[in-house]
Amino acid sequence: MNRIRNARRSFLKILAGLFLLPARKACAGGIFQSPVATNRLRPPGAVSEEIFTGKCIRCGRCIEVCPYRSIIQLDARVGIHAGTPLIRAEDVPCYLCMKCVEVCPTGTLRRIRQEDTRMGLAVVDRHRCITWREEALCRTCYNVCPFKEKAIRLDELRPVIDEKYCTGCGLCTHGCPISTEDGRKAVNIEPLYSGLRR
């Protein structure tokens, strides 16, 4: 009897959930939760995250064409975002070769120039960066940055990001030798622009 009641309860829950789908979208949780987060980025030229999942047809051509295997394909565990491309900056960053934007058939990745890419913004965690803590003289992020002296410059030997030039490619995150227990680095890419630009 209890099992039947439980079955009925879960059935009613599912039913109610179906009716409340649009409402749930508004609070953006569960299966609608976007996979974009710190160091979890969309490929270059991506449209705003609100329409990304509606526009992308999951054809995987950006993933296949990426020569660095930077882009991975998400699966059904991320709900309706299954099949969309994602870059995990600390694993393999984007080298800004701009091949993926050339092949996207739906315009989800817009054809933009390399320096116009805004996948996110690098943020130096000054409490974790050993240079900022004055424990060592590390400038790996500065060395690997493709827009050296523009996106990252050294201010009294300490790295400083300029949001005017930072593309959010994640090369600095990938290169950063400091790993914290929550899987982050001392410099992380925050997907600032993913919700703002269309």
Partner 1 sequence: MIPTKERKKTSTITRWRLFIQACAFLLILVNPFLILHFHFTFIQGWYQSLGIGKLWIVSPLEGMESILVARHLYPPLLVGMLIPILLALLLGRVFCGWICPIHFLSDLSDRLVTVVTGKKRIRDRFILPRSIFWYSLVGEFLLAMILGAPFFVFLSPAGLVGREIMNAVFFHTLAVEGVVVLLVLGMNLITRRFYCRYLCPLGALLALIGSKRKLKVRRNPNACVSCGLCDRACPLGLKPSLDEGKSVHCWNCGACVDACATNALSLEWHTQANNLPELPVDHAPGSSPAPEESKR
Binding residues for partner 1 (CB under 8 A): 21-22, 25, 32, 47, 51, 53-61, 63-65, 67, 69, 72-73, 75-77, 80-83, 99, 103, 105-108
Nearer to partner 1 by Cβ, of 3 and 19: the residue is 19
Nearer to partner 1, 80 or 192 (CB): 80
Nearer to partner 1, 17 or 177 (CB): 17
Helices (H) and strands (E) in the chain, counts: 7, 7
Q: CB of 154: closest distance to partner 1 in angstroms?
A: 36
Rounded to a whole number of angstroms, the minimum distance from the CB of residue 157 to partner 1 is 39
Complex with partner 1: residue 82 or 192, whichever CB lies closer: 82
With b for 16 or more beta-carbon neighbours within 10 A and e for fewer, the 56-82 pattern comes to bebeebbbeebeeebbeebeeebeebe
Q: What is the DSSP letter of 125?
A: -
Distances (CA, A) of 21 to 13, 14, 58, 152, 175: 12, 10, 22, 43, 41
Write down the least CB distance from residue 177 to partner 1, Å: 26
